């Protein structure tokens, strides 16, 4: 015996595992144990832990020896429970060997079914079941799976031999092959395997078993699993469990079937039993999408009564419905289940928390609170904050003109437009060039995962709502249509035909993943209105959070949107975006190209009224809420265009020679603009620019306040690295502002603070705070300087870093711990001097849930994010507070 326990058995209503051992047994193993204990019909089996997988990757092959001491007795227990033995020709036990990680990775890792068959036991099976055709069909399936999964052959090799056999026999589908044909195929397969791999297919079922266990372990780190984990930000060190389970057969004739179901509709969240099934089939036939399955019942979209399981096998269906209720009551969440009916008898093969569309996620949470199944608090913690953001995904404008060329199953909602590509490789390549693409496939398989990640949306000709494409797309929240039967796809020619229309590679299509409609060209989209479910959920959110949520918005329109979404102020209003406006960019350039302060001041006089107008509109919209305005930040050359035409136009406008203007342009060019003459460095070298901006802000504030509104301006100085910078600029700001306010004979409280976005600012925050009323972390620049990485240039190595596991994720998406450490240091140093200092964050991270959790944990006052992320940020803030109070 090893000290660590590696094997957990289950069967006959008894199980050594439980649902909460998911990280040890994988989701599949844990839930099989749980269902066994619940008294549900589960074929007995055993699960090898993820610890064993991790040990395998650490220690290598030796671990398999260690495992034997535990697997062998568990196998014996399984043989007793089944009254059959591995390799016993008279009464053979067949098993499946399946992977199963703590976090579901559908189809990414390997599985072997029908293990235990060999030249002897196949005959035993034939006799026992009185169905030699079934026995030989199972054997040829084992040969196909085993040779590809364990022995490393390309799956196509045997698949082609199968196709050739069918052609030879003149049949269309596998099930039509005769017994003789199947027997011949088994021989052909065995020969081909030997020829291709130099090794014979192992006749010893134990050798088969250990080969399969090793293969599942190894499949944890195959390419598609790595890609999937990177895309889903799943850690690479979890490992997979291996579940060995007695086989049951959905392909044992017309009283057998297999299916996949959700306890509620995973797409809409509606409360009916939703699923698909196939008579006389094995599970992978449904999942792989090769045969288009039938609906479980009319609610699941069946077109004819007599296709449903409810009608065809009413007893099994009734039992399944009972299981559905048991599972939902027990797990208190919507479940995704797999079942097999073997000669009329129902077997449960899997249950797991069902993936769901964003809309369903909200609806399920809200409905289950209404049903008393879960609490409000649970509902809030269960909805992922990113889901709210996804719900803001664009949809097709109902009023937009469109040409619908086909209809399929709307498998994952949202609208997507892109250039059509026909292979995963092409998707990666085109997307790499910056082209939005739509991946069109007959069906998808795990090999397609890289291309699916890169695509705007996915469209398949085959498969149902639980096919690979549908499940993966829903998990990624990418629009997807499956089972679009009218598509005739010619991958070699890179074109598809649909009802007479030819669509070639690169042609633009739009799909509506909710409706299932395929449209020509690009079709106008709109942002959706939040649903009643969302409104209900949000009504709970604000009672729990401590963090305020503000928005980053530069225009009155964006401010309005954000306010509608519940923003409690503006955390970042960038004044430079206003500079690009057509009618003012000339004045801005004139200012930049001026020879001296007088020239700059003349140009700034033209810009002043325009900026004042902008601020006035914003202050009106934000009546009663704080508005943080950042003074000019980017290097001045960003406002110049270096095209010859622009230079000439500017020279004409200024009455200067083209050469003089071009020279000045060159003069302003910087080697590292990110680290150049920008931010407060501009304010100190050209104080007249900041002076104009402060003037515009305060004059607008005075005007709007006179209209009766409450204006709360917060003036923010960017890129401060040394306390003297802020000290001097604060003087400039208050000098300008106070004289305007006192002249206006009005009371207008305003504050002056700074962006903290340089390591030096964090380390010296105790001195900087002396001149600051507030801090706002600019985490984009802070991440750039802390890492020494330019966002503009990291494309050649950062994705690779994530891929190689150097970084757990992109630090520009979620706050890196070292950057977080600087935020903590700065907050502590600032508050040590001014305990009431208001501290917020306005970088991109302000709209990302893990970062929001971090901001909550270090005691920030607010986060600020783009308008459409405001609801998710509110939820994430509530979740952070709830998690804190429960820990």
Does position 784 interact with a copy of itself (CB under 8 A)? The reply is yes
Q: Which of residues 687-746 bind a copy of itself (CB under 8 A)?
A: 719, 721-722, 724-725, 728
Stretch 98-117: interaction string toward a copy of itself, x if CB under 8 A? --------------------
Nearer to a copy of itself, 566 or 599 (CB): 599
The DSSP annotation for 692-738 comes to HHHHHHHHHHHHHHHTT---EEEEEE-S--SHHHHHHHHHHHHHHHH
- CA–CA gap between residue 378 and residue 355 (Å, rounded): 17
Catalytic residue among 468, 544, 637, 856: 468
Does position 177 interact with a copy of itself (CB under 8 A)? The reply is no
Does position 793 interact with a copy of itself (CB under 8 A)? The reply is yes
Considering Cα of 230, then 233, then 238, then 240, what sign does the dihedral take?
A: negative
- CA–CA gap between residue 118 and residue 804 (Å, rounded): 41
Exactly one of 296, 819, 837, 878 binds a copy of itself (CB under 8 A); that residue is 819
Stretch 431-470: interaction string toward a copy of itself, x if CB under 8 A? ----------------------------------------
Residue 835, both tokens = 């305990």
**855 part of the active site:** no
The answer to whether the CB of 161 falls within 8 A of the CB of 167 is no
239 phi-psi bin (left φ>0, alpha ψ -120 to 50, beta other): left
859 — phi, psi (to 5°)?
85, 25
Q: How many residues in the chain? A: 887
Nearer to a copy of itself, 524 or 638 (CB): 638
Nearer to a copy of itself, 384 or 824 (CB): 824
Does position 184 interact with a copy of itself (CB under 8 A)? The reply is no
Does position 788 interact with a copy of itself (CB under 8 A)? The reply is yes
Binding segment toward a copy of itself, per CB under 8 A, in 312-320, 328-336, 573-581, 799-807: 799-807
Least distance from a copy of itself to the Cβ atom of residue 793, Å: 4
Least distance from a copy of itself to the Cβ atom of residue 524, Å: 34
Rounded alpha-carbon distances, angstroms, from residue 148 to 57, 152, 161, 215, 616: 21, 5, 14, 10, 68
Considering Cα of 581, then 584, then 587, then 588, what sign does the dihedral take?
A: negative
Exactly one of 746, 806, 828, 884 binds a copy of itself (CB under 8 A); that residue is 806
Beta-carbon neighbour count of residue 688 at 10 Å?
18
Q: What share of the chain is helix, strand, coil (3-state, %, to 5)?
A: 50, 15, 35
Burial call 259-273: b when 16+ CB within 10 Å, e when fewer = bbbbbbbbbbbebeb
Residue 178, both tokens = 């005769």
Nearer to a copy of itself, 168 or 795 (CB): 795
Stretch 622-661: interaction string toward a copy of itself, x if CB under 8 A? ----------------------------------------
* Pairing, β 626-630 against β 712-717: parallel
Considering Cα of 296, then 299, then 304, then 310, what sign does the dihedral take?
A: positive
Q: Strand order in 495-498's β-sheet?
A: 488-490, 495-498, 501-504
Does position 303 interact with a copy of itself (CB under 8 A)? The reply is no
Does position 497 interact with a copy of itself (CB under 8 A)? The reply is no
Least distance from a copy of itself to the Cβ atom of residue 756, Å: 11
HSE value, Cβ hemisphere, 13 Å, CA-based, for 878: 24
- CA–CA gap between residue 836 and residue 753 (Å, rounded): 13
Does position 807 interact with a copy of itself (CB under 8 A)? The reply is yes
Return the residue matching tokens 């591995």: 86
Does position 760 interact with a copy of itself (CB under 8 A)? The reply is yes
Least distance from a copy of itself to the Cβ atom of residue 763, Å: 4
Does position 57 interact with a copy of itself (CB under 8 A)? The reply is no
Residue ranges with strand state E in 320-436: 335-342, 345-353, 395-396, 404-407, 409-412, 415-421
Nearer to a copy of itself, 555 or 790 (CB): 790
Binding segment toward a copy of itself, per CB under 8 A, in 196-204, 252-260, 535-543, 681-689: 681-689
Exactly one of 237, 595, 792, 836 binds a copy of itself (CB under 8 A); that residue is 792
Residue 705, both tokens = 């306040």
Does position 663 interact with a copy of itself (CB under 8 A)? The reply is no
Least distance from a copy of itself to the Cβ atom of residue 819, Å: 8
The answer to whether the CB of 229 falls within 8 A of the CB of 14 is no
Helix or strand holding residue 279 (H, E): strand 274-279
Exactly one of 671, 743, 745, 886 binds a copy of itself (CB under 8 A); that residue is 671
Name the DSSP letter for residue 92. B
Name the DSSP letter for residue 230. H
Does position 672 interact with a copy of itself (CB under 8 A)? The reply is yes
Least distance from a copy of itself to the Cβ atom of residue 640, Å: 15
Residue 64, both tokens = 């398999």
**642 part of the active site:** no
Least distance from a copy of itself to the Cβ atom of residue 790, Å: 4
Catalytic residue among 480, 484, 573, 842: 842
Nearer to a copy of itself, 381 or 593 (CB): 593
Does position 351 interact with a copy of itself (CB under 8 A)? The reply is no
Residue 84, both tokens = 């059959």
Binding segment toward a copy of itself, per CB under 8 A, in 223-231, 360-368, 618-626, 790-798: 790-798
Does position 800 interact with a copy of itself (CB under 8 A)? The reply is yes
Least distance from a copy of itself to the Cβ atom of residue 679, Å: 8
Residues forming contacts to a copy of itself in the complex (CB under 8 A) are: 670-677, 681, 684-685, 719, 721-722, 724-725, 728, 757-760, 763-764, 781, 784-790, 792-794, 796-797, 800-801, 804-807, 816-819, 821-822
Catalytic annotation, residues: 468, 842
């Amino acid at each position: 015996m090893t000290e660590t326990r590696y094997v957990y058995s289950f069967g006959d209503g008894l199980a050594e595992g439980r649902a909460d051992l998911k990280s040890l047994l994988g989701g599949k193993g844990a839930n099989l144990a749980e269902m066994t204990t619940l008294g549900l019909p589960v074929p007995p089996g055993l699960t090898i832990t993820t610890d064993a997988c991790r040990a395998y990757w650490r220690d290598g092959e030796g671990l398999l020896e260690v495992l034997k001491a535990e697997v062998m007795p568990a196998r014996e227990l399984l043989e007793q429970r089944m009254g059959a033995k591995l390799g016993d020709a008279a009464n053979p036990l067949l098993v499946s060997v399946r992977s199963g990680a703590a976090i579901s990775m559908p189809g990414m890792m390997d599985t072997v079914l029908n293990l235990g068959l060999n030249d002897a036991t196949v005959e035993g099976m034939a006799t026992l079941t009185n169905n030699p055709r079934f026995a030989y069909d199972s054997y040829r399936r084992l040969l196909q799976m085993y040779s590809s999964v364990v022995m490393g052959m390309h799956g196509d090799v045997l698949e082609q031999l199968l196709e050739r056999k069918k052609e030879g026999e003149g049949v269309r589908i596998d099930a039509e092959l005769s017994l003789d044909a199947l027997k011949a195929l088994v021989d052909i397969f065995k020969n081909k395997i030997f020829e291709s791999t130099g090794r014979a297919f192992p006749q010893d079922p134990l050798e088969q078993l250990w080969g399969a266990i090793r293969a599942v372990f190894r499949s944890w780190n195959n390419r598609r699993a790595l890609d999937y984990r990177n895309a889903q930000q799943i850690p690479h060190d979890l490992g997979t469990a291996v579940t060995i389970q007695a086989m049951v057969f959905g392909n044992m004739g017309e009283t057998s079937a297999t299916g996949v179901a959700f306890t509620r509709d995973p797409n809409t969240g509606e409360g009916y039993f939703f699923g698909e099934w196939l008579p006389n089939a094995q599970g992978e036939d449904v999942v792989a999408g090769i045969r288009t399955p039938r609906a479980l019942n009319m609610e699941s979209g069946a077109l004819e009564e007599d296709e449903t399981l409810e009608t065809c096998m009413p007893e099994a269906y009734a039992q399944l419905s009972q299981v559905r209720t048991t599972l939902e009551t027990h797990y208190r969440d919507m479940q995704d289940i797999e079942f097999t009916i073997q000669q009329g008898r129902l077997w449960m093969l899997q249950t797991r928390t069902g993936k769901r569309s964003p809309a369903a996620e909200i609806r399920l949470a809200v409905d289950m609170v209404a049903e008393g199944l879960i609490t409000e608090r649970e509902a809030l913690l269960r909805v992922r904050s990113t889901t709210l953001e996804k719900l803001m995904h664009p949809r097709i404008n109902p009023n937009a003109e469109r040409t619908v060329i086909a209809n399929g199953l709307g498998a994952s909602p949202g609208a997507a437009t892109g250039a059509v590509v026909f292979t995963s490789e092409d998707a990666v390549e085109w997307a790499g060039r910056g082209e939005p693409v739509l991946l069109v496939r007959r069906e998808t398989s795990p090999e397609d995962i890289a291309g699916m990640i890169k695509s705007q949306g996915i469209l398949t000709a085959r498969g149902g709502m639980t096919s690979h494409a549908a499940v993966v797309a829903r998990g990624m929240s990418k629009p997807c249509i499956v089972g679009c039967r009218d598509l005739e796809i010619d991958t070699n020619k890179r074109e598809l035909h649909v009802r007479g229309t030819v669509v070639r590679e690169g042609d633009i299509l739009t799909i509506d993943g909710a409706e299932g409609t395929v449209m020509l060209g690009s079709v106008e989209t709109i942002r959706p209105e939040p649903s009643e479910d969302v409104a209900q959920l949000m009504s709970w959110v604000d009672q729990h959070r401590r963090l305020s949520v503000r928005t980053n918005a530069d225009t009155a329109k964006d401010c309005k949107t954000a306010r509608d979404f519940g923003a409690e102020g503006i955390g970042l209003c960038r004044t430079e975006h206003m500079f690009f406006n057509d009618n003012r960019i000339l004045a801005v350039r004139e200012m930049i190209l001026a020879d001296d302060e007088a020239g700059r001041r003349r140009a700034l006089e033209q810009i002043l009224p325009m900026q004042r107008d902008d601020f006035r509109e914003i202050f009106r919209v934000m009546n009663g809420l704080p508005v943080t305005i950042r003074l000019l930040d980017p290097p001045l050359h960003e406002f110049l265009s270096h095209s010859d035409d622009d230079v000439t136009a500017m020279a004409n406008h200024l009455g200067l020679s083209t050469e003089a203007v071009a020279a000045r342009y060159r003069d302003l060019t910087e080697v590292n603009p990110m680290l150049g003459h920008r931010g407060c460095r501009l304010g100190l070298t050209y104080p007249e620019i900041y002076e104009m901006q402060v003037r515009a802000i305060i004059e607008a504030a005075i005007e709007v306040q006179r209209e009766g509104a409450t204006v709360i301006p917060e003036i923010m100085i960017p890129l401060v690295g040394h306390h003297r910078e802020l000290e001097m600029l604060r003087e400039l700001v208050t000098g300008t502002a106070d004289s305007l306010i006192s002249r206006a004979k009005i009371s207008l409280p305003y504050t002056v603070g700074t962006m903290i976005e340089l390591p030096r600012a964090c380390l010296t925050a105790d001195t900087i705070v002396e001149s600051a009323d507030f801090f706002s972390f600019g985490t984009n620049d802070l991440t750039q300087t802390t890492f020494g990485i330019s966002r503009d240039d990291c494309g050649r190595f950062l994705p690779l870093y994530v891929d190689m596991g150097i970084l757990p994720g992109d630090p520009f998406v979620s706050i890196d711990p070292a950057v977080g450490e600087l935020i903590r240091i700065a907050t502590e140093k600032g508050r040590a001097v001014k305990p009431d200092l208001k501290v917020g964050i306005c970088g991109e991270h302000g709209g990302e849930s893990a970062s929001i959790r971090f901001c909550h944990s270090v005691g920030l006052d607010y986060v600020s994010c783009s308008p459409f992320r405001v609801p998710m940020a509110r939820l994430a803030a509530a979740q952070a507070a709830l998690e804190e109070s429960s820990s």
